[in-house]
Structure 1
Amino acid sequence: MSVLSLRGIGKTFGAVAALTDIDLDVDAGQVVAVVGDNGAGKSTLVKILSGVHPPDGGTITFEGREVEIPTPAAAHKLGIATVFQDLALCENLNVIQNLFLGQEIRPLRLNDVAMETRSWELLRQLSAKIPSVRVPVAALSGGQRQTVAIARSLLGDPKIIILDEPTAALGVAQTAEVLNLVERLRENGLGVIMISHNMADVKAVADTVAVLRLGRNNGVFDVDSVSTEDIVAAITGATDNVVSRRARRGQS
Structure 2
Amino acid sequence: MLYMIEGYDLTGNNATLDVSNWAHAFGDIHAESPSTVRIGSDTPGMLSSEVSSALADGMFSGYNAAYYGAITGGKGNVSLQNGLWRMSGDSAVNSLVARNSRVKSEEKGAFRTLTVNKLDTTGSDFVLRTDLKDADKIRVTGKASGSDNTLNVSFMKNPSPGQSLNIPLVSAPAGTAADVFKAGTRVTGFSRVTPTLHVDTSGGSTQWILDGFRTEADKAAAAKADSFMNSGYKNFMTEVNNLNKRMGELRDNQW
TM-score, normalization by structure 1: 0.30
Please say which structure displays the higher CA radius of gyration: 2
Higher-RCO chain (CA-CA 8 Å, sequence separation at least 6):
1
Structure with the bigger percentage of helix:
1
TM-score, normalization by structure 2: 0.30
Structure with the bigger percentage of strand:
2
